[in-house]
Structure 1
Amino acid sequence: MLESTLRPAHGRKPAAKRVLVVGGTNFDIVVQTERFPEEHEKLRGGTCWTSPGGSAANTALGLARHGCAVTLVSAVGDDALGRVCLDELRAGGVDTSLTRIAPATRTSMAIVFSSGAGKRMMTFAGADRDAAIGAVTADEILALDHVHVVGDITPPLTRLVALARRLGRSVSVEWNGRDMSPLAGSATLNLMNADEARNLPGAVAHDPAVTAQRYAESLSAEVIVTLGPDGALWASPGRPPLLVPTTPVEPVDRTGGGDAFNAGVIAGWLSGAPPTECLRRGLDSAVHVITKRGAHP
Structure 2
Amino acid sequence: MLGRGAAAAPDGTGPARRVLVAGGTNFDIIVQAARLPEEHEKLRGGTFSALPGGSAANTALGLARQGCAVRLASAVGDDALGRACLDGLRAGGVDTSRVRVDTTARTSMALVFSSGSGKRMMTFAGADREAAISAVNEEDVRAVDHVHVVGEPTRPLIRLVALARRHGRSVSVEWNGRDMSPLAGGPALNLMNADEARGLPGASPDDPAATAQRYAETLTGEVIVTLGPRGALWASPGRPPLHVPTRPVEPVDRTGGGDAFNAGVIAGWLSGGSREHCLRRGLDAALHVITRRGARP
Compute the TM-score of the two structures, normalised by the length of structure 2.
0.97
Question: What are the superposed Cα offsets for residues 144-190 of structure 1, whole Å, 9 maximum, x if unpaired?
Answer: 00000000111111111111111111000000000001110014100
Contact 1:107–1:126 (8 Å) recurs in 2: yes
Pairing of 1:42-121 with structure 2 (within 5 A): 42-121=42-121
Contact 2:17–2:69 (8 Å) recurs in 1: yes
SS state of the match for residue 20, structure 1?
strand
- Residue number in structure 2 paired with 1:201: 201
**How many residues were matched structurally?**
296
Contact 2:25–2:57 (8 Å) recurs in 1: yes
SS state of the match for residue 99, structure 1?
strand
Question: Which region of structure 1 is more displaced relative to structure 2, 93-102 or 127-136?
Answer: 127-136
Q: Distance in 2 between matches of 1:245 and 1:191?
A: 17
Does residue 234 in structure 1 map to residue 257 in structure 2?
no
Contact 2:5–2:169 (8 Å) recurs in 1: no
Q: Distance in 2 between matches of 1:130 and 1:8?
A: 31
- What do you get for the CA RMSD once the two structures are aligned? 1.4
Q: CA deviation at 1:130?
A: 1.1
Contact 2:249–2:291 (8 Å) recurs in 1: yes
Contact 1:26–1:107 (8 Å) recurs in 2: yes
Residue 255 of structure 2 aligns to which amino acid in structure 1?
A: T
Residue 182 of structure 2 aligns to which amino acid in structure 1?
A: P
Change (3 A) 1:140 1:33: same
Q: Distance in 2 between matches of 1:145 and 1:56?
A: 17
- Residue number in structure 2 paired with 1:246: 246
Q: Distance in 2 between matches of 1:219 and 1:4?
A: 20
Q: Distance in 2 between matches of 1:80 and 1:15?
A: 38
Q: CA deviation at 1:139?
A: 1.0
Q: Distance in 2 between matches of 1:159 and 1:12?
A: 32
Q: Distance in 1 between matches of 2:30 and 2:120?
A: 10
Residue 173 of structure 2 aligns to which amino acid in structure 1?
A: V
Change (3 A) 1:5 1:162: closer
Compute the TM-score of the two structures, normalised by the length of structure 1.
0.97
Change (3 A) 1:240 1:29: same
Contact 2:150–2:173 (8 Å) recurs in 1: yes
Contact 2:223–2:236 (8 Å) recurs in 1: yes
Contact 1:257–1:295 (8 Å) recurs in 2: no
Q: CA deviation at 1:38?
A: 1.1
Residue 29 of structure 1 aligns to which amino acid in structure 2?
A: I
- Residue number in structure 1 paired with 2:215: 215
Structure 1 segments unaligned to the other structure (5+ residues): none
Percent sequence identity is: 75
Residue 232 of structure 2 aligns to which amino acid in structure 1?
A: A
Contact 1:19–1:145 (8 Å) recurs in 2: yes
Contact 1:173–1:187 (8 Å) recurs in 2: no
Residue 199 of structure 1 aligns to which amino acid in structure 2?
A: G
Q: CA deviation at 1:104?
A: 2.3
Q: CA deviation at 1:3?
A: 4.2
Residue 107 of structure 1 aligns to which amino acid in structure 2?
A: T
Q: Distance in 2 between matches of 1:42 and 1:29?
A: 18
